Structure 1
Amino acid sequence: GRHFEDLHHTEKIYRKALILSLQKSSFCTHFCWRLERTVEHSMLGLGVSIEICAHVFAGIISRGR
């Protein structure tokens, strides 16, 4: 459906930005790779996965400052 397509598009943008931003951290690269595998297997987990990754991303940014 339309809603899922929008959500999937948003998730792809988030994930791409996260992976590009966090590549220097092996933990985060691994985390995002695992997230990608999880998302592929769970449509319902899509929104939750974005939130989790965004929280981790925000935590790392704040710790880096």
Structure 2
Amino acid sequence: MSTEPCASTSRHVARSTAVPIGKADTLAVWLAERPGIEIVCCDRAPFFAEGATRGAPQALQVADRWHL
């Protein structure tokens, strides 16, 4: 089972299907192209946290229930 990050703005939720799993650089670029991202929900894999921090430093990072 693979997981994908989920990013949200105040108006809608967009689930990423284009972001390869395990690549912080790709996630950072994908998020940076969407400056309105306010929340990033993902599992606790280090590359998700690193990519989210670099690509959307303004976003709140949260783990979904499944991964806690």
Q: Higher Cα Rg: structure 1 or 2?
A: 1
Between structures 1 and 2, the one with greater helix share: 1
Give the TM-score normalised by the residue count of structure 2. 0.28
